[in-house]
Amino acid sequence: MNRLEFARAEYRALKERLKAEDPELDDETLADTVEGLTDLHEIIAAILRSALTDEALATGLKERIGQMQERQERLSERATQRRQIARRAMADAEIRTITAPDLIASLRPGSRGLMVIDEAAIPQPYWEPRPPRLNRQALLGELRQGSLVPGVMLSNPEPVLSIRTK
């Protein structure tokens, strides 16, 4: 049994025993007494501190990943521009192949690409039907306003843990 499970079991057992010995003990006094006799509160606080640390690291990583993605996009754009410069220079100078110790570059005719001029004129067989997608936000809004929508309902609320740091 891990430390948290042991402390939780000890907390429950102690609380039940104190309540059985003194049934008139008010809830606040009972809670304060059990808290003083066990370390469950400290264990949970340590777990929450660890969660806060993990959240801070995740936030930092998200920021760093965003910066690295921006850098990757800049490098990709720069590489594309440099390839276009080299392609134009080779085409203008009518150079078909460049052989260097570390690379071979060749210029060849490209394939024709699609240009859409008038979408309305395109026949139906070329259009792809899209499957319907459930708008969960709209459904949730309707249900919260009291509407009855077949096939859906609101779930029972789960307790929400709020942690404030000083």
The pTM of the full predicted model, rounded to 2 decimals, is 0.58
User: Considering the domain boundaries, does residue 159 fall inside one?
Assistant: no
Residue 7 has pLDDT above 80, yes or no: yes
Is 151 within a domain? Answer: no
Residue 94 lies in a domain: yes
Does 163 reside within a domain? no
Q: With pLDDT > 90 as the criterion, what percentage of the chain qualifies?
A: 54
Task: Answer yes or no: is 45 within a domain.
Answer: yes
If phi > 0 it is left, if psi is from -120 to 50 it is alpha, else beta; for residue 131 that is beta
Residue 7 structural domain: 3-107
Mean pLDDT of the chain: 90
CA distance 30 to 18: 7
Which pLDDT score is estimated for 144?
Answer: 92
Domain count of the chain?
Answer: 1
pLDDT of 1 > 70? The answer is no
Least confident among 35-44, 62-71, 74-83: 35-44
* Residue 62, H or E segment: helix 40-92
> What value does the mean pLDDT take over residues 47-71?
96
79-138, pLDDT tens digit by residue? 999 999 999 999 999 999 999 999 999 998 888 888 999 999 998 888 998 899 999 999
Predicted confidence (pLDDT) at residue 161 exceeds the cutoff of 80: no
